[in-house]
Each structure stands twice: as structure tokens, then as C-alpha cells.
Amino acid sequence: MKELYLSMNSAKKHITVSILGASGYSGAMALRILLRHPAVTVEKVFGTSSVGEKVHTLYPSLRGLTELAYEEYSSDKTENSGIVFLALPAGHAMKVVPDMMKAGKKVIDLSGDFRLKDSNQYKEYYKEAHVSGGLLDSACYGMPEIARGEIINTKLLSNPGCYPTTAIIPLAPLLKNGLIEPEDISISSLSGVSGAGRKASVDLSFAEVDGSVKAYRVGDHQHIPEIESVLSAYSGQNVSVNFVPHLLPAVRGIYSTTFVTPKENIGEAVIADAFQNAFDGEPFVRYLGNEIPELKNVVGSNFIDIGWKFDKRKGKLIVFSAIDNLIKGAAGQAVQNMNIMCGFDEKEALIL
């Protein structure tokens, strides 16, 4: 198994990258992973609120691992960076990406700015007009499990959302193979608090969150159109989902329990085959069959664990999926995409 950890052969090529928004949880996680990547040098980290501070001032767990300090972004500072990671709040990437494209950079955007193809839908869910809607079509929705071929050649990679990662990976093969009703999908998801970002808020304080749980943004979460549009495009049919996110009293991870309705005459064997075929060889999908995943097993890793139960009597298939929201749901998937884009071993730096 040693090759999981060390594939120095992939280091023939060496790249230089920068990270915008490295003061947030996802950006800091991207930095942490990239620091261990044998073929990558991180040139600069940018973070508006912490300019001049060493990274370890905000993230003391990184003390001793890097001497980088946060700078204010300007395009000239990333001259040597062939790839730029954007881990900015919604609405910021669309403002800086056009210039980066012109400068010939490759961009890996961890925000939602380039995940939808329809700028009207963007406006509806993100409450802001899209200022570089012309780039939406060329952006590649970077989910390796369904789009590895496109990722290789993209210049603008839109990294999937955390919730959508747990929804799309298991639903994709079921829909693609026509095994389930595409408009009767109910997703109940639980997210750790880091999913809300590093911010000051009474609602996110330990005293309010611990020992509790609550649903939020029912019916209007921006990940609904993301899940629906990606799955519709991938499976060639109109897919519609009911999606209920909940705030879980845990720091990291997303756990999704998805109720779907198999089409008539679809049995367990067909479902098992579809999953098996889809996930066979996938380096970061751990397919558990009829075992039920548990969140802690993926926390700290780039894996998605997937399992399912089919209740024939009730006519419902229930699918379970679990990821670390900051890794497979953000920075890890971003580095996985970078590895694909650069021709590195896809697992490089990601067996954590």
C-alpha cells in the first residue's frame, strides 16, 4: 500500500500555485494539503482581513509547517503561479476570474460562482447578478467521479459544493442507468459547523450549537439548483430534489440520508451492479454495499463512504453518504482536481 502515500514519480513536473481566501477554513485546508504535495510550491496566500499576519497566527495548528503570511491580493503577486485556488465567499470569484483567465492562469474555484450554467438561476439563489456570466459555459464542474475527462483540459474548474458532493456521487449512477424516479428524491443532510465558515455569529457559538440540531434554509438553499442541474445534465432527464440541510453539533463532515423511489421491477441486484460499476476503481469512493457509513470514518480524509438499504415492501431505496466537508467537500476535491489537471497521480497528497 505504500504507493498510496508516496508516488514521487508524479513529481516529474513541478508547479507553483497561490490561494485566495486562505484565511477561511477551506482555503486553509487547501494550503495544508498543498504543503504536503511533492510537486507543488505555494507561492502566496491571500486573505483580506489578516494581511501581514503569518498563517499560524490564524491557524496555530500550521505553526512549524509554513512561514507564509497573508497578503492583499493583486494580480502581479501571482506571476509565477500557474494555478490559482479561489476559496472566497460567494460573489467574489466572478469578479477576479476574468482577469486571471486573460493572464493565462488556470483557476480552481471553491465557491459557487461557476457551478450553475444559468446566470438567472445564479441570481435567484445567490441574490446577486453574475458579472462574468459569459464564463459559465466554459467552466467545468469538477467532480472527478462524473467528469474526469473534462477536468483534464479545463482552465476554469468549478469545485463542487459540499452537500452536492454527497448527493451527486451516489445518485449519478442510479439516474444515469434509469433506475429511479428522477423527480422523487428527498435528501436529509447534516453538516458540521465548519461548513458555515470561520465567522463570528451567535447562531454558530458553542453555547447555541452543542447538544442541538436544526434544519435551515429548507427549500431555498443554493445547493438545490446545483444538485438538480448537474444530475439533469449528467443523466439526460429532468431531476428534481427535496433537500433539507441541518446543522449538526460536530465540527467537520456531511452525512446525507437520501430517500429515492426505484422504478418498477428494479431489484437489489441491479442497484448493486450500478453502484459497483460506477465506483470500481474510483480512488476516493469507498463503496460499502449494504453497510451503513458513519461520519467519523471519513473525517480527516478525502474519501466518500457510500452504502444503501432497499426496502422492497415500502418501495424505497435509502442511500447514505458521508464526507469530510472541508476535504472531499472542498479542498481535498480541489487538489484531486488539480492532480487530474496536471497529470499527477490523482491520489497525490490526499491519503491523509
SS (H, E, C) 57-101: HHCHHHCCCCCCEEECCCHHHHCCCCEEEECCCCCCHHHHHHHHH
Among residues 24 and 94, whose Cβ is nearest to its own copies?
24
CB of 135 to its own copies, least distance (A): 29
Q: Are 329 and 336 in contact (CB under 8 A)?
A: no
Task: State the Cα–Cα distance between residues 61 and 50, nearest whole angstrom.
Answer: 17
Give whole-number Cα distances, 325 to 19, 104, 137, 245, 298, in Å: 19, 30, 26, 13, 10
Q: Using CB under 8 A, which residues numbered 121 to 180 contact its own copies?
A: none
Under the binding rule (CB under 8 A), the answer on residue 95 touching its own copies is: no
Active site residues: 162
Residue 19 lies near its own copies (rule: CB under 8 A)? no
Which amino acid is residue 316, in one-letter code? K
The span of 4-12, 76-84, 105-113, 157-165 binding its own copies (CB under 8 A) equals: 4-12
**Contact between 120 and its own copies (CB under 8 A)?**
no
Select from 168, 227, 248, 334 the one that contacts its own copies (CB under 8 A): 248
Region 197-226 residues binding its own copies, contact defined as CB under 8 A: 198-202, 204-216, 218-219
- Residue closer to its own copies, measured from CB, 122 or 320: 320
Least distance to its own copies from the beta carbon of 296, Å? 4
Q: Going edge to edge, which strands form the sheet with 156-158? A: 70-71, 40-46, 15-20, 83-86, 106-109, 156-158, 140-141
Question: Is residue 72 near its own copies by the rule CB under 8 A?
Answer: no
Minimum Å gap between C-beta 134 and its own copies is: 29
313-332: contacts with its own copies (CB under 8 A): 314, 316, 318, 320
Q: Is 67 in the site for its own copies (CB under 8 A)?
A: yes
Work out which of 69, 101, 251, 272 binds its own copies, going by CB under 8 A.
251
Report the distance separating Cα 250 and Cα 246, nearest Å: 11
Determine which residue in the list 26, 78, 222, 301 makes contact with its own copies, applying CB under 8 A: 301
Decide: is 16 part of the binding site for its own copies (CB under 8 A).
no
Q: Which residue has the cell 451527486?
A: 168
Angstrom distance (rounded) from CA 7 to CA 254 = 29
